[in-house]
Amino acid sequence: MNLKKNSPFYELDRGNLFGAQQLFREEVKTNPCHHTLHNLGVFYLYEGLMFNEYKRRSANFLGLCYLNKAFEIQGTYQNYFGLGVGNFAINNFPEANQQFDRAFQTKNSYGSLYNLGVTQILQEKYADASDTLNQCIKQFSEQNEREAFVAYLYSLSFCNKALCVNCLRTLDDAYVFSSEMDLFAIAYLCEEYPFAVELCKVMFERWRVDFGVMAMVLNLFLKSGNRKTAESYLAMQVERLKEFRQYVEMKRTYELYNNEMYRQEVISKYRMKFPIIKENIYFDEV
Kindly tell me if the per-residue pLDDT of 245 is higher than 90.
Answer: yes
181 contacts 207 by C-beta, under 8 angstroms:
yes
| Predicted confidence (pLDDT) per residue in 50-107, tens digit | 999 889 999 999 999 999 999 999 999 999 999 999 999 999 999 999 999 999 999 9
| Predicted confidence (pLDDT) per residue in 130-152, tens digit | 999 999 999 997 766 788 999 99
Distance CA 79, CA 101 (A): 12
| Predicted confidence (pLDDT) per residue in 248-259, tens digit | 999 999 999 999
